[in-house]
Structure 1
Amino acid sequence: MSRLTGAGEQRGAEVIDEQGDTVPLPVVPPTEDKPEPPPGSPSLPPFGPIVRKVALGLAVCLVAGAAYAGLRQIADAPADPNAPVITGQTPQTSTTPDEAAEGVRRAAAGEAVLQKMATAVDDDSRSGFLATIDPKASAFRVSARTIFANLGKLPLATFQLRYVSDDPAALTPDRQTELGGTASWLAQVEVSWQLKGYDAKPARETIPVTFVTRDGTTYAASFSERFVAGQRRPIWMLGAIDVAKGDHSLVISLDGEADAESYVSVTDRAVDSVSDVWGDNWRRKVVVYLPATQAQMEYVLGAQPNTYTQIAAVTMAELDTPQAGAPVRIVANPKLFDELGRQGRRIVLTHETTHVASTATASPVPLWLAEGFADYVAFTAVPVQDESAAKELFKAIRAGKVPSTLPTPEAFAASSTELPQAYESAWLACRLISEREGQSKLVKFYRTVHLSKSPTGLADAFRTVLGMTEQEFVVEWQKYLKRLAGV
């Protein structure tokens, strides 16, 4: 299973604010939110487990796990046993000439509707867009108006819809009766869009689109008839959005009460903080999603309900299949972000922006290095007291439990009993490299591992960049941890 960037568990820690005062961060208990369907959508089946939640035991709600979200194909996700079988990316094979001809007819009719939709978006023609919507699908027409308005707010460089496949048996007889018309069917449609100035390549997702033919005309009757487990949804499908633009950031918010402009300034500052460490050789553009509910966050990520009750933010690649240069988004958990305050948000967004700059969604670096480095950058931007930030690790060391190795991938699993120590020790491993060799060497070490195509890339970087073996570094790191813990 591909790991997903997760975020931290709140633990009543402290950060130092800009005036040097100690500011306690609130403890946020787990919530019991239940998913809410998007406006005008039929009831939806539950998601299956496509991702693994990773909690961070640091002093603040930082994001953890090596930002691999969005690179997993929908076909890899387990299907909801209660949902009808839905064709994935492979076109359905008909068994008779009549069925084949009917499939061609459906595809041609559906593709024609999609092209009219895309053209209407390009031409900013609201009437043209609504002309493709089933006049009898009153709830969906309301959603369609919102979707069109949302797309008009985005700095779209491209917007395309492509008919992928269909399953004529996916709609129940009752649903077909409800739709009426001479024909109705469910298709899988690839939607792609590129944000001008932010995306090197288009974002791509696959959505279910219901078509109905009545009086000789085919219309779209729903964008959310059925979702398979792990199937993500574009943020612009989930409700009315607000868009705020900064020098380096684009904030897209579903929360009408959130001040999107305030997130822009914090994110712009995070970009500068990351560049101070990583350098300017990256796009220096960040897109942040602000869902209004945790359920909306899970829809965007294609995650199980209530997966992110204690997750502050997630960095994901908005693409269904692995590809270099995929658009990367930072998705915030609205409940936790509301509680964090400005400085806490800055730490989280700096951590996440580090993942964006270092292309962690497509990196071979081990989790301890990806997460430790992101924490190093965040805590360099906003100083954090060692005793607060590493209190679980220090507690273990004082009890005689000094880590014997750098954190393994398993140590970052949600079920790990030493999860906080894994993140804390990863952060301090990166800080030790910076203190011992200089910050530029830490960055060079990370880049060397990231760019290596060798299975021994990490060992090679230890030798060529740091002049030691990993085992020798671990000995130095253990001494460093014991000294910091006062042992």
Structure 2
Amino acid sequence: MSATTPGGGTSGAQAPPPGPRRWPGLLLAVALVSGGVGYTVEDRKNDAEARTVATQAPKQDPPKSTRPSRISQAVAARKVAVDSILIRRAQAVQTGNEALFLADVDPADKKLRAAQKILFANLVEIGFGELGYSQAEERINQTAVQAHGPSTYLVRVLMRYQIPKVDITPVTTELGYTFITRHGHWVLADDDDLDGELGPGAHREAWDLGRIEVHRGPRVLVVVEKGDTKRAQRIAAAANEGLAEVTAYWPRKWRGSVFVIALDETEVRDARFADEDIESAASTGSTFSSLPGQDTADGTVAGGYIAINPNERDRVDEILLSHEITHVATADLGGYEPLWLAEGSAEYVSWSGIEAISGSGEVGKWEQEVIDEALPQMTALPTDLGFYESNADVYGVSWLAVRYLVQRIGIGNVEALYEDMAAHGTDQGSRDRILLSRAGLTEATLWTALATYRPQR
């Protein structure tokens, strides 16, 4: 039950350079390929300037040093050709044209073409409102060159998309594509040669992992394996209940939707249930409108998707999902809040739901267990470093801290504290300043208060 925020470990992110929003422009720029040289809008502008100069001065051959070399001509032609392929792939998905999507896939690679057919079907089923691909930078991989031949071109590709009613703004993920020439034409030869060099979770989106089935509700999107219909319906119902709990117990007026991925995969996006997250039932991973390293070091978080541990899919309920949906509802606030506040707030919402159903007795019992058993094992609030690897009950202590703050300043003020921390809690000094101004405490004095806390019942 972890939130993925900018940082490292379970709070991992992805990382790359200049993003797109240029695909419509590429439709204009990819105009002509003549004599092996890409001819773009910019080239036409330069030609117009050259013609103006030509009317004012006698013609003469340019110096050899200014003439484009055969290599630069080939590189320019390759860029135009690959840009054209990327544009066609996006157009094919948006128009449901499988033949167009496969037209630029290596015709000699039957395995790749079969996988690309599945990918195409998944992308169409997701139903993107916006979709585009753009080249980022070339990568070198000698193993891939040996496998595919001397014409091999590997490039990191940015996929920018928006899922209607899920993404409030277009978001970006990354891929690695391998292109080669076949009979004088560039074709896609592989799509996973660069997976090990990309950011966490790259090429591990829901649509990348085998044939899927999509179930939609007013504010819920659930993805399962093809044919896993009953499970999808159960999870969608639980997500709707979880949404209601977040609306009832967290003050922020969040109008977003929930994307739940429940596949038989131990690695989905940046959730790795096969290793450090083996105990987690679910994980909420960030989506980025601007990837880390693109415009800023940390990137710009746009929202979050929930991935379910495949071993827990049959035990998903509204309690688990209300916790994760709280992470989704706070994902776009900045991501600098301490993990004890992020996880404690999510636990506060889910336990509020339990309290509403079963009364205060069960919640009071757990609260006392945290006070008697968890607090004595710790000497301070849980730190971000190692939070998800800790053997201590960091979730319980985090919940107790938020519960204490709610009793001290009220849930509305705790939510305002969260927003301030998420936007500005970039270091310990900032966190203590915000906590002191809004609750009259620092993290150290909050811990002292918890150590002597005796709840009234």
Do the structures match in fold with TM over 0.5? yes
Cα pair distance change 1:174/1:390, threshold 3 Å: farther
Deviations 1:418-475 (A, max 9, x none): 3x2x221111111122234433333333234334478655434444433455555434
Check the 8 A contact 1:250/1:287 in 2, yes or no: yes
Shift of 1:244: 0.8
Greater helix fraction, Structure 1 or Structure 2: 2
The aligned residue for residue 395 of structure 1 is 373
> Secondary structure at the residue paired with 2:256?
coil
Q: Does 1:253 find its partner at 2:224?
A: yes
The aligned residue for residue 15 of structure 2 is 73
Bigger RCO (CA 8 Å, 6+ sep): 1
The aligned residue for residue 37 of structure 2 is none
The aligned residue for residue 150 of structure 1 is 122
The aligned residue for residue 318 of structure 1 is 287
The aligned residue for residue 294 of structure 1 is 266
The aligned residue for residue 168 of structure 2 is 200
Cα pair distance change 1:389/1:289, threshold 3 Å: farther
The aligned residue for residue 368 of structure 1 is 340
Q: Residues 345-356 of structure 1 correspond to what in structure 2 (within 5 A)?
A: 345-356=317-328
Cα pair distance change 1:372/1:168, threshold 3 Å: closer
Structure 2 Cα separation of the partners of residues 168 and 447 of structure 1: 42
Larger Rg: 2
Structure 1 Cα separation of the partners of residues 226 and 278 of structure 2: 17
Q: Residues 411-422 of structure 1 correspond to what in structure 2 (within 5 A)?
A: 412-414=387-389, 416-418=390-392, 420=393, 422=394
The aligned residue for residue 466 of structure 1 is 439
Correspondent of 2:157 among 175, 189, 209 = 189
Structure 1 Cα separation of the partners of residues 144 and 385 of structure 2: 43
When normalised by structure 1's length, the TM-score is: 0.70
Structure 2 Cα separation of the partners of residues 304 and 280 of structure 1: 30
Identity of aligned residues (%): 23
Structure 2 Cα separation of the partners of residues 442 and 205 of structure 1: 33
Q: Residues 20-59 of structure 1 correspond to what in structure 2 (within 5 A)?
A: 51-53=8-10
Cα pair distance change 1:472/1:242, threshold 3 Å: same
Structure 2 Cα separation of the partners of residues 470 and 176 of structure 1: 56
Residue correspondences, number: 386
Structure 2 Cα separation of the partners of residues 133 and 459 of structure 1: 55
Letter matched to residue 301 of structure 1: D
Structure 2 Cα separation of the partners of residues 302 and 369 of structure 1: 21
Structure 2 Cα separation of the partners of residues 73 and 210 of structure 1: 19
Structure 2: give runs of 5+ residues left out of the alignment. 18-67, 293-297, 356-361
The aligned residue for residue 45 of structure 2 is none
Structure 1 Cα separation of the partners of residues 310 and 348 of structure 2: 24
Cα pair distance change 1:380/1:166, threshold 3 Å: same
Check the 8 A contact 1:403/1:478 in 2, yes or no: no
> Secondary structure at the residue paired with 2:135?
strand
Structure 2 Cα separation of the partners of residues 168 and 450 of structure 1: 38
Shift of 1:309: 2.3
Cα pair distance change 1:213/1:475, threshold 3 Å: closer
Deviations 1:366-409 (A, max 9, x none): 11111111111111112454545774763355xxx364432222
Cα pair distance change 1:412/1:361, threshold 3 Å: farther
Shift of 1:267: 1.1
Structure 1 Cα separation of the partners of residues 379 and 137 of structure 2: 52
Q: Residues 90-105 of structure 1 correspond to what in structure 2 (within 5 A)?
A: 97-105=69-77
Letter matched to residue 193 of structure 1: Y
> Secondary structure at the residue paired with 1:382?
helix
> Secondary structure at the residue paired with 1:358?
helix
> Secondary structure at the residue paired with 2:452?
helix
Cα pair distance change 1:460/1:169, threshold 3 Å: closer
